Amino acid sequence: MTKVTGEESVTLDLLKGKMAEFAKERDWDQFHSPRNLLLALVCSCFFPSFDDSQVGEVGELSEIFQWKGEVPKGLPDWEEEEKVHLGEELSDVLLYLVRLSDICGIDLGKAALRKVGLNAIKYPVGIKDSSKEIQQHQ
């Protein structure tokens, strides 16, 4: 597998290729069905021997914030080790989403841009942060 240098621009296509290569090298394609990839995101029930806690990648990400209360932007009170751990868990979620979208034949970048456009229509600029106002537009 080719290594990523710090100078390389990271795109969804690059990640998709890296994940496909990673899975192929390990003969994991046989396990990468849409269902199995989704379950790996939300629970470890597909890989019970790896972790008995039944928490998937999204659960592992949630655990980082579980007892921290409200966290300010930029995480100013966090230790560097905590930020590195957060980056790893965010990456796990991203990589599973990229792999799932690839296996499903969905262009994730285009789908995300389309969704931003739909959200702009659903939540026009004039709406403030009031949850009551937002609910009225749904």
Q: Angle at CA 129, nearest 5°, toward 128 and 131?
A: 115
Q: Angle at CA 94, nearest 5°, toward 40 and 134?
A: 100
pLDDT in tens, 44-98: 665 555 554 578 999 999 999 999 999 999 999 999 999 999 999 999 999 999 9
pLDDT at 46: 54
pLDDT at 12: 96
Per-residue pLDDT band for 2 (boundaries 50, 70, 90) equals low
Residues near 70 by beta carbon (within 8 Å), at least 6 away in sequence: none
pLDDT at 28: 96
Both tokens of 71, joined, read 């966290």
pLDDT at 54: 72
Q: What is the DSSP string of 98-133?
A: HHHHHHHT--HHHHHHHHHHHHHHHS-TT--S-HHH
pLDDT in tens, 25-45: 999 999 999 999 999 999 866
Pair 97, 86: CB distance under 8 Å:
no
Q: Choose among 87, 106, 105, 102: nearest CA to 17.
A: 102
Of the CATH numbers 3.10.450.50, 1.10.287.1080, 3.20.20.80, 1.10.540.10, which one belongs to the domain with range 12-108?
1.10.287.1080
pLDDT at 50: 54
pLDDT in tens, 106-134: 999 999 999 999 999 999 998 766 666 66
Q: Angle at CA 78, nearest 5°, toward 76 and 79?
A: 125
pLDDT at 129: 63
Q: d(Cα 37, Cα 41) in Å, to the nearest integer?
A: 7
